[in-house]
Amino acid sequence: MHDNPIIQQLPRHLHTFIIEQNYDKYTSRDQAVWRYVMKRNMKFLGNHAHKSYVEGLESTGISMGHIPSVEEMNNSLGKIGWAAVCVDGFIPPSAFMEFQKHKVLVIAADIRPFDQIEYTPAPDIIHEAAGHAPIIADTEYAEYLRYFGELGSKAFSSRNDHKIYEAIRHLSILKANPYSKREEINLAVKMIEMLSAKSGMPSEMTLIRNLHWWTVEYGLIGSLTKPKIYGAGLLSSISESENALKYDVKKILYSLDAMDYGFDITKPQPQLFVTPDFKHLTSVLEEFAKQMAFTTGGLDGIMKAIESGNTATLEYSSGLQVSGSFSDVLISGGRPVYINTNGPTTLNYKNKLMDGQGKENHADGFGSPIGKIKGTLKPTRFLSDADLADYGIIKGKHCSFEFESGINVEGVLDRVVRKDGKILLITFYDCTVRHNRKILFDPSWGHYDMAVGESIVSAFSGPADADAFELPKQAPEEKTLKINYDDKTIKLHDLYRKTEEFVNGRQTGYNEPSILFKEYKKLKVNDWLFLSELLAAAKLSDEHSALIKKITGELQANLSLSPGLKNLIEFDIND
């Protein structure tokens, strides 16, 4: 899996989310679930999915007959410049977006439980591999995904966003567990509702996740009257794909307005958005980017960095990037004039750590003015050594100068750091920084590295240089459930295996359909999917006409016991 060079080049902190697929853990019934969903979907999607879906199945290593291995997918995706890794269920949105930015498809290793075959609220390998992967073969759409990941990884989340994510992950784990109690699920739902009610103004991450949901997950393409399906949530869901094109699901022309439409992962969607083509998706995303702090910077961006409560980056007009946990901002005349971080901080340029400006150099935080030195005609970042000397700022000499904001700096100039003709950093020792009577930096704190730049031009989530910042491990603490099957279920899984062997031509006495049917009856279970598999096996030979009638009768009996299975069972009886 890790032979793909794209995976090897991922930032180190993303590797903490990657798990082994452990292909052998998939049961024979899991394989049957995969085959059923793929067969059922292809019967419908062959006519109703975007043309690139069917074309992309083969080119991305997706088989109709078996759950794909990540190795298979990487061999195919690598040819189109992408990769795939396995993760444990829902991962934090920021990490998901960052994987996408690096052209890596994250695949939830688990497969949906048998009783959620039509739709599952949890991510699974059907959704990720059979839903997301095939459309990536379309180069225009693949670039949209990459660009979405780039912007999404920079979007600010609120403190409440992470709590909501953890609550949704917890609910998805409960719903995937056949032994979960209804009270546990109800409590988890109420927790999400309570946290959502406390959300206040939606964060950038909330808005961009809405756009992701209505395009990448639940998008339609073409005309409003006869759209095709391209969203992975629809492509991987038997019920949702068929429901999506019905008249009572409202179809809306996709625009930036979609960012204001929330969604409930546990229910069918009341409306869907239709894009005329993939190019339109990118134009809407570019429109969203124009309002992100990543593009606008300024006081609004600084406040989003502070309110996020997480590592963020502010970029000065000189190009200097400060990465850390921002604690406060000094405002004068309605403009930000001084920023502070709390705890380890790095200084970067063009997303690379600057020499001598790692966390060990700014272990207790960082503070610096924003603005122009008073009396200068040029922006401070463009001052030459001669210009600085005119204002008494000379190496090895004590100097005193004031910013237009009223911030005063006094100290001995140690060095000036320039990149690409711009001053990024000026370092002083024996330095005091004041604003009116407030001390912003004291000489006892050591050298003073002063960032240079007249404004904050960009603000985004996360560090500029992730590897240099050494983000802590972020993998979720709560793991998805690994089901321990009872003896009866294990025997049932073995019957699935024997049936598959018969269909594939590995025929011996013990896997004759008539023998398997007798063994099934002894187990005294109701499993319509096994009967469907056995029915397909029996239909391979004219010798089994009597057995076919018996199996069909059993399926009818299952249907009378569970009318909710009508759509699923009738499909197989009539197939």
Buried b (16+ CB within 10 A) or exposed e, 333-368: eeebbbbbbeebbbbbbeeebbeebbbebbeebbbb
Q: How far is CA 453 from the centre of its chain?
A: 33
- pLDDT value, residue 411: 97
Query: Same domain for 392 and 514?
Result: no
Q: Are residues 449 and 511 in the same domain?
A: no
Is 537 in the same domain as 416? no
| pLDDT at residue 139 in the model | 93
Could you tell me if 179 and 484 are in contact, meaning their C-beta atoms sit under 8 angstroms apart?
no
Q: Give the whole-angstrom CA distance, residue 282 versus residue 140.
A: 9
Tell whether 545 is covered by a domain.
Answer: yes
Would you say residue 4 has pLDDT above 90? Answer: no
Q: Is residue 324 part of a domain?
A: yes
Same domain, 390 and 531: no
Instruction: Please indicate, yes or no, whether residues 349 and 454 belong to a single structural domain of this protein.
Output: yes
Reported as a single tens digit per residue, the pLDDT across 368-418 is 999 999 999 999 999 999 999 999 999 999 999 999 999 999 999 999 999
Domain contains 569:
yes
d(CA 222, CA 275): 6
Task: Supply the pLDDT for residue 200.
Answer: 76
Q: Which of 469, 495, 528 is the last residue of a domain?
A: 469
As a whole number, the mean pLDDT across the chain is 91
Confidence of residue 319 (pLDDT cuts 50, 70, 90): very high
Indicate the number of domains in the chain.
3
> Do 14 and 142 sit in the same domain of this protein?
yes
Has residue 104 got a pLDDT over 50? yes
Summarize the confidence of residues 471-500 as an average pLDDT. Answer: 84
Q: Does residue 62 sit within a domain?
A: yes
Considering the domain architecture, whether residues 62 and 151 belong to the same structural domain is answered as yes
What is the per-residue DSSP string for 511-564? G-HHHHHHHHHHHT---HHHHHHHHHHHTT-GGGHHHHHHHHHHHHHHHHH-GG
Dist CA 197 CA 185 (whole Å): 19
Query: Both 37 and 82 in a single domain?
Result: yes
What is the C-alpha separation between 67 and 427, in angstroms, rounded?
58
Identify the domain containing residue 422 by its residue range: 310-469
Residues 153-185 have pLDDT tens digits of: 999 998 888 888 888 888 888 877 777 888 999
538 within some domain: yes
1 has a pLDDT exceeding 50: no
State yes or no: pLDDT of 241 exceeds 90. Answer: no
Percent of the chain with pLDDT over 90: 63
Residue 113: predicted pLDDT: 83
pLDDT class of 509 with cuts at 50, 70, 90: low
Question: Per 3-state DSSP, what percentage of the chain is helix, strand, and coil (rounded to 5)?
Answer: 45, 20, 35
Same domain, 463 and 559: no
DSSP, residue by residue, 133-194: HHHHTSHHHHHHHHHHHHHHTTPPPPHHHHHHHHHHHHHHHHHH-TT--HHHHHHHHHHHHH
Out of 469, 496, 518, a domain closes at 469
Residue 90 vs residue 411, higher pLDDT? 411
State whether 71 and 146 are in the same domain: yes
Burial class (CB in 10 A: 0-12, 13-18, 19+), 303: middle
Closest CA to 21 of 129, 137, 100, 142: 129
- Mean pLDDT value across residues 131-147: 93
* DSSP bridge partners of 340: 328, 367
End-to-end CA distance of the chain: 37
Q: What is the mean pLDDT of residues 509-535?
A: 90
Q: Alpha helix locations (H) across 198-290?
A: 204-212, 232-235, 238-244, 278-289
Alpha carbon distance 575, 566 (integer Å)? 14
pLDDT at 569 over 90: no
Torsion-angle region of 351 (φ positive above 0: left; ψ -120 to 50: alpha; else: beta) = left
The DSSP output letter for 119 is -
Nearest-angstrom CA–CA distance, 425 and 449: 6
Q: Residue 429 falls within a domain, yes or no? A: yes
Write down the pLDDT at residue 507: 67
Residue 102 has pLDDT above 60, yes or no: yes
Please say which residue of 422, 440, 469 terminates a domain: 469
Q: What is the pLDDT confidence band of residue 571, given thresholds at 50, 70 and 90?
A: low
Q: Per-residue b/e over 224-262, b at no fewer than 16 CB within 10 Å?
A: eeebbbbbbbbbbbbebbbbbbeeeeebeebeeebbeee
Q: Does residue 274 fall inside a structural domain? A: no
Pair (425, 533) in one structural domain: no
Are 492 and 462 within one domain? no
Q: Is the pLDDT of residue 149 over 60?
A: yes
> Does a structural domain hold residue 261?
no
Instruction: Decide if pLDDT at 356 tops 80.
Output: yes
Residue 2 has pLDDT above 60, yes or no: no
Least confident range from 64-73, 206-215, 216-225: namely 64-73
What pLDDT does 236 receive? 86
